[in-house]
Structure 1
């Protein structure tokens, strides 16, 4: 149970609820113990009545009615306390489940980009749902029944020993066999449960990718291939689950067998002791049989609880693997001064760890506040890497320095830094929500008028109004309801409404026609004249009005200057500009 020790902090957090549950359990067991004792007394009264010469029927009836009333009262109280026990401990497990899910989710948010490159979405989802569910079963039912069983065992053994020590020892002889059986089966369950949960993550990942890529699958007519792959994974999952279920199924019959042996021992040994006069009352044997009967469920629950614990151990181990992951990007800064927008790159180099590709090679440039800079270059030249470093999605290598307003990027509070930057990514991500809420993602306090104004500036207002539900239109997953250009423009409206001092446009007009692009860029001139703007683009038309243009190739700056300067010298920019100008005239 080494992995489950991580949950101890939650038991401490909810210690009062936990302790209350234990106290209620103890009291419930005390009341439940009265039943065998009262039945034993009733049998003894009948035995005395049968042996006596003058049968006092009235006294016998009075004794039996009194005992029956007490049995009814004790059972009622014990049942009510058991209900309170469940309300206390099971509800506590739901609180722990809530806290653990939030802890995992918050940790997921803090983990770096590389973590998501190495792990599949389905696996991440499975650990926060299925695995946490298994852990909750340990915190709730497993802990509750373990406490209940331990207290009941202790109370019953003490009660049995107080009546007859010898018969108690004989009746508990099957317990060592039970303990060893549980130990062996628990190890097998742990191993099989781990394998099943890992396979379930693979199945979840496959399903998630299938749904996300359904358009590609249909386009290439790969439905049958995907179905066969899913059947293979489902078959493996079924086999692993059946193997686990078969092992778990051994517990029940084993428990019944051992309890049955205890019954036989009590009847045989108790009968022998009664005939020899070592036990005076036949009611003692009946009392012992009832005590053994009271141990049936606790003993039977050993198997179930052991299965829960082993499954929870396997799941918590998988959860801990991710919780122990440390974010590569650490929020070590504390500066939260308003950002003006002066940016400096000093000898910046960056190599991607997973591929060893050198994305940037010792580049330096400056951007003054309220300036617009355009970055051009072929695919893989390092354009997007500059933006990732500026927003601290990745951190610079070695002696490289990136400064904003003369302060090292790492000295800023990470949340403040990112809140000061509006980003329109190359591949815009829209949520399965209304268009209105997708735009408000940039500023949750924005009014309807501000949302409409932002949409107009992004030249998407007319498109939205053409929908039957307008701004209340619910988008499909990843904004599938909209076209590529519409998604880009909604994403631009989201950045506009944020009103941050730094604006980053990462090739966000690639799916927009040149006429619409021209309108958006003209709107940007008015809207962002007092903001520092970085435009990454493949189009010279989007770069020509920038205060400075930088051209990258293989992570190095090969050209730098204004549009007028670069269009008059031979090089990448001049060729690109006249090529695209010619294409526009011939269109």
Structure 2
């Protein structure tokens, strides 16, 4: 149960509702106990009438009175049982809501390294399936557990007060039941953990298949994919069946042991009645009702155990992620305004997941309002510079200054709000085109959205869609071409109007003419804004205030277009090559 201690803070949060639920549960069960005693008294009335101890009219009046009491108690017990469910089950839903929010909030705090190490399907499974298992513990398990304890606490003392010997024989199976539950619950815990882990594997596989369905179709891999899923499903079925086989032992064992208790009641109770040790065979009827009232609570112990074991396994998986610490920590609470000056001082950076050193002792300064182009071969470290400016990672060594302040001393939210980033792999959400553009500025007017789209040279494309800006995109913008996705991402950044623009090779999927038009619009829109443009094309660098050329993580060249084109080196060769390609 140690993993489930994480939920204690939520139980404390809703303790008033839980106390009310506990009170209602106790009242409901006490009302339920009215029936057995009055059944015994009703049988006693019949015995007295048969023995001519009371008149027929008196017997009828007493029987009617007892029947009304039994029916009234049953109705009240039903009302309180309804209120019990409304109270405790509702609390479990509140806890489910809070826990999902806690997990999601923590997910958002974790760095990119965390998402590189873990798969989307597993993340989704822990916030959905695992939380659902935990909710069963916080709701139904808690409710039925209180219900069971209340019945045991009330019925067993009454049985011993009524007929001690009969009660002792009747309850003999219960210790045996406890031992069996203890043994089987250990196996359930182990197999529940395996099942939950495998559900994550299955979720990850299906998520990747759906995301990469275009590749699967292009390579005609549907049969192979179906075969792989079949194997996963069979393995998952086997693991679930192994758990189900253990769970299947509970109810037959419960019913068997309750049946043995009933036999003891009839046999031992009958002998005691014949020997005059109990005054009425109504006691036997009372005990049979008690035993049957205990049937469901005793039988449900197995179900409760299974729920608790599953919840323990699920909460353990949830805790594993909640205990992950964020690499990027916000050490400043107050907002820190950003102007746009960027300085790298002897910065080196190594990716933890691959151990690749992307930057090696890089130093440069970008003044506020400057436009800087960053060029270099694939893997030279261009995109890493942008990630470090946005503080998606912290440097391995060296220091980054923003406006002459160490980046770690800035409020992370203030820094990122001051940045408009267009990633290399443009990501669009399954929403309208308008909302995708407004992602960076939710209160933007339609006119501002159109202006941003026009500057990104995508307005005419959007107008061509049947629903225009209200066109709903497929997942990850799959309904658009690569160039359209890039330009909508650019429009999103332009609409935000930040202090720093980060463009990561975001024009690779557009033709040179469109690129030229977008660059001219960017130049106008980004005046007085610090702009970093990563590109493979020299055309993106011609109008920049400064050009940085990287090679193998090192700063190879630095200067204006004219300066670098006047000296032999990578930049001049690249410019000459691309110029000849354009002329051809």
Contact 2:110 2:326 in 1 (8 A): yes
Quote the residue 2:549 is aligned against: 551
Matches within 5 A, 1:139-154: 139-154=138-153
Contact 2:272 2:278 in 1 (8 A): yes
Deviation at 1:452, TM superposition (A): 0.5
Quote the residue 1:437 is aligned against: 435
Quote the residue 2:400 is aligned against: 402
SS in 1 for 2:375: strand
Could you tell me how far apart the structure 1 residues matched to 2:38 and 2:357 are?
A: 83
Deviation at 1:166, TM superposition (A): 2.1
Quote the residue 2:52 is aligned against: 52
Quote the residue 1:517 is aligned against: 515
Quote the residue 1:21 is aligned against: 21
Deviations 1:408-459 (A, max 9, x none): 1011111111001110000010000000000010101101110001000100
Contact 2:336 2:415 in 1 (8 A): no
Could you tell me how far apart the structure 1 residues matched to 2:363 and 2:574 are?
A: 23
Contact 1:334 1:411 in 2 (8 A): no
Matches within 5 A, 1:372-451: 372-398=371-397, 400-451=398-449
Quote the residue 1:470 is aligned against: 468
Deviations 1:535-566 (A, max 9, x none): 01000000111000000001111101000001
Contact 1:376 1:551 in 2 (8 A): yes
Contact 1:49 1:60 in 2 (8 A): yes
Could you tell me how far apart the structure 2 residues matched to 1:216 and 1:19 are?
A: 56
Quote the residue 1:229 is aligned against: 228
SS in 2 for 1:376: strand
Q: Alpha carbon RMSD of aligned pairs, Å?
A: 0.9
Contact 2:116 2:353 in 1 (8 A): no
Could you tell me how far apart the structure 1 residues matched to 2:224 and 2:275 are?
A: 77
Could you tell me how far apart the structure 1 residues matched to 2:184 and 2:192 are?
A: 12
Deviations 1:49-71 (A, max 9, x none): 11126x61111100100000000
Quote the residue 1:359 is aligned against: 358
Quote the residue 2:34 is aligned against: 34
Deviation at 1:332, TM superposition (A): 1.2
SS in 2 for 1:281: coil
Could you tell me how far apart the structure 1 residues matched to 2:41 and 2:7 are?
A: 46
Given the two structures, how large is their TM-score scaled by the length of structure 1? 0.99
Matches within 5 A, 1:524-539: 524-539=522-537
Could you tell me how far apart the structure 2 residues matched to 1:131 and 1:550 are?
A: 48
Could you tell me how far apart the structure 2 residues matched to 1:287 and 1:279 are?
A: 12
**2:349 is equivalent to residue 345 of structure 1:** no
Could you tell me how far apart the structure 2 residues matched to 1:92 and 1:336 are?
A: 37
SS in 1 for 2:33: helix
**2:562 is equivalent to residue 564 of structure 1:** yes
Deviations 1:101-124 (A, max 9, x none): 111111111111111111111111
Could you tell me how far apart the structure 1 residues matched to 2:540 and 2:437 are?
A: 23
Matches within 5 A, 1:24-423: 24-52=24-52, 56-334=55-333, 336-398=335-397, 400-423=398-421
Could you tell me how far apart the structure 2 residues matched to 1:338 and 1:7 are?
A: 39
Deviation at 1:280, TM superposition (A): 1.0
Deviation at 1:336, TM superposition (A): 2.4
Could you tell me how far apart the structure 2 residues matched to 1:199 and 1:337 are?
A: 45
Deviation at 1:335, TM superposition (A): 5.2
Deviations 1:295-342 (A, max 9, x none): 011011111111111111111111111111111111112452321111
SS in 2 for 1:422: strand
SS in 2 for 1:534: strand
Could you tell me how far apart the structure 2 residues matched to 1:60 and 1:508 are?
A: 93
Flag structure 2 segments of 5+ consecutive residues without an equivalent: none
Deviations 1:236-294 (A, max 9, x none): 01111111111111101000000011111111111121122111111111111111111
> How many residues align structurally?
584
Could you tell me how far apart the structure 1 residues matched to 2:12 and 2:310 are?
A: 23
Deviation at 1:162, TM superposition (A): 2.1
Could you tell me how far apart the structure 2 residues matched to 1:282 and 1:557 are?
A: 98
Quote the residue 2:454 is aligned against: 456
Flag structure 1 segments of 5+ consecutive residues without an equivalent: none
Could you tell me how far apart the structure 1 residues matched to 2:176 and 2:334 are?
A: 65
Quote the residue 1:490 is aligned against: 488
Could you tell me how far apart the structure 1 residues matched to 2:124 and 2:173 are?
A: 44
Could you tell me how far apart the structure 2 residues matched to 1:354 and 1:60 are?
A: 85
Contact 1:367 1:373 in 2 (8 A): yes
Contact 2:336 2:411 in 1 (8 A): no
Could you tell me how far apart the structure 2 residues matched to 1:438 and 1:355 are?
A: 32
Contact 2:338 2:414 in 1 (8 A): no
SS in 2 for 1:552: strand
Contact 1:334 1:412 in 2 (8 A): no
Could you tell me how far apart the structure 2 residues matched to 1:211 and 1:397 are?
A: 36
Moved more, 154-163 or 496-505: 154-163
SS in 2 for 1:359: strand
Deviations 1:506-531 (A, max 9, x none): 00000011101111111111111110
Could you tell me how far apart the structure 2 residues matched to 1:50 and 1:302 are?
A: 42
Displacement over 6 Å in runs of 4+: none
Q: 1:507 aligns with which of 493, 505, 508?
A: 505
Could you tell me how far apart the structure 1 residues matched to 2:424 and 2:352 are?
A: 22
Deviations 1:560-587 (A, max 9, x none): 100000111111111111111111111x
Could you tell me how far apart the structure 1 residues matched to 2:164 and 2:409 are?
A: 73
Could you tell me how far apart the structure 2 residues matched to 1:333 and 1:551 are?
A: 34
